[in-house]
Amino acid sequence: MKLSRELDLLVVVYLAVIVFCILYPDTFLSHKMLLAFLRGMSTDGILAVGMMVLMVAGVFDLSVGAMMSLAGVVAGTLLMKHHLPVPLAVLAGLLVGAAGGLANGLVVTKLKVNALITTLATLGIFKWLTLLLGGVSIPDLPPGFAALGQTEWPAGTWNGEPWGVQTPIWFMFGLAAVAHLAMSRARWFRQLYYIGANPKAATLSGIPTARVQLIAFVLCGVIAAAAGLAFAARLGAASSTAGEGAELRVITAVILGGASLQGGRGTILGAIVGVAFMQLVNTLLLVARVEAHWQWMVTGVILIAAAGLDSWKNRGRSA
Tell me what pLDDT residue 317 has. Answer: 54
CATH class label, 40-311: mainly alpha
**Over residues 181-199, mean pLDDT:** 95
Tell me what pLDDT residue 177 has. Answer: 97
List the domain boundaries for the chain.
Answer: 40-311
3-state helix vs strand vs coil in the chain, percent to 5 = 75, 5, 20
In the predicted structure, residue 271 carries a pLDDT above the cut 70: yes
- Residues β-bridged to residue 157: 162
Model-level pTM? Answer: 0.92
**Over residues 107-131, mean pLDDT:** 96
CA distances to 75, 224, 239 from 218, rounded to whole Å, are 19, 10, 23
Q: What is the pLDDT of residues 39-81, one digit of tens each?
A: 999 999 999 999 999 999 999 999 999 999 999 999 999 999 9
Tell me what pLDDT residue 211 has. Answer: 97
Tell me what pLDDT residue 12 has. Answer: 83
Strand locations in the chain, DSSP E?
137-138, 152-153, 157-158, 161-162, 165-166, 238-239
| Residue 102: how many other CB atoms lie within 10 Å | 16
Higher pLDDT, 33 or 133: 133
CA dihedral 92, 93, 97, 99 (to 10 degrees): 20
